[in-house]
Structure 1
Amino acid sequence: MEVYKFGGASVKDAEGVRNLANIIIERNQKNNLLIVISAMGKVTNKLEELTKAYLTGLNDVHQIFEDVKQFHFSIIGELFPDESNPVYNDVANSFVEIDWLLEEEPDDAADYIYDQIVSIGEIVSTKIAAAYLNETGCNVQWVDARNFIHTDNSYREAQVNWEKTEQEIQKKLNPVLEQCIAVTQGFIGSTSENFTTTLGRDGSDYSAAIFASCLNASSLTIWKDVPGVLNADPKWFDETERIPRLSYHDAIELAYYGATIIHPKTIKPIQNKNIPLYVRSFLDHKAEGTDITGADNHLPVPSFIFKVNQALISIFPKDFSFIIEENLSDIFSLFHKHKVKITTMLNSAISFSVSFDHDPKKLEALIADLSQHYKVKYNTGLELVTIRYYNQQTIDRVTVNKNILLEVKSRYTCQIVMRDKTTVE
């Protein structure tokens, strides 16, 4: 039993869908393969734009949705020249549900509406891919992930009911996979009331890991547009290296600190079952990529993770007393209240400093609450670099012409919050 996951970049156009089919055909697998697919290209972004327009009452709601429809039907037109193919009606019927929703006034909670609208991207992409795979001679069945991944009602960040999810997958999905290849969606699940939920932005990797774990798969392969896990993002570094092997532990560390190639929640479900994760390139599917396993493979080279648009706040007791456990508990509860996810932190005797992704509204509300009991200083427009397996040379490399505002070191990891020396403070 294997699980493959293809992201939006791999199916961004008709050629991408054909390439996906070629990968499946070349592997000549008739059954015991589950394919998890994301929304096509940047469709999720477009559907988020649609959701925002609907919630705020903008006039271009129907035009945005029409653009989404036309994008998909243009791909269908290239893949299926015969307009009598059932995929045309199948996709059109999927869109009708959103048409109905858009005709009503938005009287439900915003996060609930988000999940009902944005999830359509995965539904439609998988219907197109499944239809094309069948067209090429593969024996494929489309299955709805919402019938298997059961969650609570925490819309946009739904928590998985693991016991019920595993029961349903073992009972209902295993028999399907014994007969054919199955295609399903990433990112989505459903509540006990059968309302659609999503598992958090870019959560399709996590979906694939859930399926792999519950199926006791022999492996999970994530297909990307890069040759594997690199030691840095090519956007920030001219010279990057592929990491051939990673331990689960190092993969979790890199994902936690912001490496975008793997969703942070992906590793734990497969680590629990000792399922290997292979990161491969859909552009060169015969290349080696990166193997992530339980073996204790130290990274051969330092890894760099950059995050921009960071805010840094420093918190001081107003009476100049020490920062103690009671203060930290209070501070963390306020971060949780405002849904601010910390990227690094450092405490001293009389202060506590924290960096996080800068959201102006969240920052303003957080400072307002903190200022009731603490003195607060803050900076914005900062960068955070995390170096896994650092040395002084690697630190010097990333801090050229930078002012360092915060530096945190552990045995294997160094985090630096900094800004350009040319930036006016």
Structure 2
Amino acid sequence: MQKAVYKFGGASVKDADGFRNVGSIIKNANIPQLLIVNSAIADITNQLEKVVSAFKNDQIEVAQELLQKIKIFHFNIAQELLGENGSSLIDNLSNALVEVEWILEEPFQDSEDYIYDQIVSVGEILSSTILAAYLNHIGVNVIWQDARNYIKTDNNYQNANVNWSLSCYLIQKDLQPLLDKYIVVTQGFIGSSSENFSTTLGREGSDYSAALFCSAIDGDQVTIWKDVPGVLNADPKWFDDTKEIPELSYQDAIELSYYGATVIHPKTIKPLQNKGIPLYVRSFKDLTLPGTKVQKDQIPLPIPSFIFKVNQVLLSISPKDFSFIIEENLSQIFSLFHKHQVSVNTMLNSALSFSVSVDDHPTKINLLIEDLKLLYKVKYNKGLELVTIRYYDKATVDRVTVDKNILLEIKSRYTCQLLMKNNDSL
């Protein structure tokens, strides 16, 4: 019997029409056992982050006003979808927000990461509650389930690590039997700690949730529904004439996500690869399009893929006494990066220096540089652009380097990374 997981992101349910479209896709899916992983409505996670920020800065009334706007926004969608039948749904939405309202009544005294997860996680609860109610309203036999009862994590708030063995046991024991009777609607991005506090799996973690659920139930496929026709060879925001990639190997999907491609979450592939479960990326806007299939076959990409990262900082780190950069130095340097939670996007080591490109997070970078300067000479350049090309050739390199000054160039067999600055900004 076919088992599948559908994951719908925030863009697919940005308004009442979005919920109707998703409802139609699910109703016509014709899959015997179907599990739905739902994200927060578009921009709601950002709005909840503003609630956290206001609360942290002791702007309690501002935080409460922001939360009230979020509540009314969801109430309006519920009313538009269910009309006079929406009273019980509105009660459920109100109940979902009670704990957040209680948090805002107390002083900000816990860690920011903990508070973040308790507040921001409600976005997925609200959205999935609306989706389940609407599906029942249009005659789809669904049951809503709280992902926090199944996805168990440590308490590394904002980027929690999943306890896979426990999560798999709970999904198989308590959730999988429900698929014989219902379409199950649950949430992405969220889990819970051993103390039953809400945790989040990192931004865009809903794809990862879908992969975890599908692996646990031994599903046949995962489909991630996007507002693009499939996986493209570049982000349309940064690149003209993008092309769809019809098939992609697990390895290339991992490489692309590692270097910063945003269509597939970096953690998503591994649980699927372990069991050979294919992943489809399809458009919720046009169901006639086949989308992209990610599978185990080692099929080289038919076209080069481009990943752009802007607002980069190049840090060049060297010993103060002009000695060699050795393993001890690298261990010390990486420990400081870990301390300040700064991720490396690319790096190059020479005898006398160690150069890295990182995202320009001003507070983190400034503190990191201060610590590094206690031990090393540090030079840095800001306002840079990092381009990663998978399956590059000379023509693709020439295409992205027009009117650019290359500060750092790293090439392997299949991948080229170029850290650049506009010539006119030198």
Q: Mark yes or no: TM-score above 0.5.
A: yes
Structure 1 segment 131-146 matched on structure 2, within 5 A: 131-146=133-148
Q: How many residues align?
A: 423
Counting only pairs closer than 5 Å after superposition, residues 288-303 of structure 1 correspond to structure 2 as 288-303=290-305
Find the aligned partners of 1:177 and 1:159 in 2 and give their Cα distance: 26
Return the offset for 1:286: 2.7
Poorly superposed stretches of 4+, deviation over 6 Å: none
Within the candidate set 315, 318, 321, 1:316 is matched to: 318
Q: Find the counterpart in structure 2 of residue 44 from structure 1.
A: 45
Counting only pairs closer than 5 Å after superposition, residues 203-242 of structure 1 correspond to structure 2 as 203-242=205-244
What displacement does 1:84 show? 5.1
Aligned to 1:124: 126
Match of 1:163 in 2: 165
Cα distance in structure 1, aligned partners of 2:127 and 2:120? 12
TM-align CA RMSD = 0.9
Unaligned ranges ≥5, structure 2: none
Please give the alpha-carbon distance, in whole angstroms, between the structure 2 residues aligned to 1:131 and 1:263: 28
Offset of residue 86 of structure 1: 1.4
Q: Residue 84 and residue 37 in structure 1: after superposition, are their counterparts in 2 closer, same or farther (change >3 A)?
A: closer
Helix, strand or coil at the partner of 2:184: strand
Question: Partners in 1 of 2:289 and 2:191 — Cα distance?
Answer: 33
The CA distance in 2 between the partners of 1:63 and 1:339, in whole Å, is 32
Amino acid at match of 1:374: Y
How does the TM-score come out when normalised to structure 1? 0.98
Does the CA contact (< 8 Å) of 2:79 and 2:86 recur in 1? no
Q: How big is each residue's C-alpha offset from its partner over 1:184-229, in whole Å with a ceiling of 9 and x where there is no partner?
A: 0000000111100000111100111111111111001000000000
Structure 1 residues 33, 83: CA separation in 2 closer, same or farther (over 3 Å shift)?
closer
Give the 3-state SS of the residue equivalent to 2:309 in structure 1: strand
Q: 1:80: which partner in 2? A: 82
Percent identity reads 61
TM-score (norm 2): 0.98
Q: More deviation in 46-55 or 94-103?
A: 94-103
C-alpha change, 1:255 and 1:84, in structure 2 (3 Å) is: closer
Number of the residue aligned with 2:331 = 329
Q: CA, structure 1 residues 124+168, in 2 after alignment: closer, same or farther (shift >3 Å)?
A: same
2: distance between equivalents of 1:95 and 1:147? 18
Match of 1:176 among 175, 178, 189: 178
AA at the equivalent of 1:68:
I
Where 1:79 maps in the other structure, the secondary structure is: helix
Structure 1 window deviating more from structure 2 (388-397 vs 84-93): it is 84-93
Once residues 322 and 175 of structure 2 are traced to their aligned partners in structure 1, the CA distance between those partners, rounded to angstroms, is 60
* Aligned equivalent of 1:399, options 384, 398, 401: 401
Residue 324 of structure 1 and its aligned partner are, at CA, apart by: 1.0
Q: Output the CA distance in 2 between the equivalents of 1:36 and 1:185.
A: 5
Cα deviation 1:347-377 (Å, max 9, x = unaligned)? 1111100001111111111111111111000
Matched-pair contact (CA < 8 Å) for 2:78–2:86: no
Cα distance per residue 1:250-296 (max 9 Å; x no partner) = 00000000001011110011101110000000001231100000001
Unaligned runs of 5+ in 1: none
> Per-residue CA shift, 1:137-163, capped at 9, x if unaligned?
110000000000000010101000011
Q: Distance in 1 between matches of 2:312 and 2:11?
A: 27
Structure 2 CA distance, aligned partners of 1:111 and 1:378? Answer: 29
CA offset at residue 83 of structure 1? 5.1
One-letter amino acid of the counterpart of residue 42, structure 2: G
- 2:360 counterpart of 1:358: yes
Output the CA distance in 1 between the equivalents of 2:29 and 2:159: 35
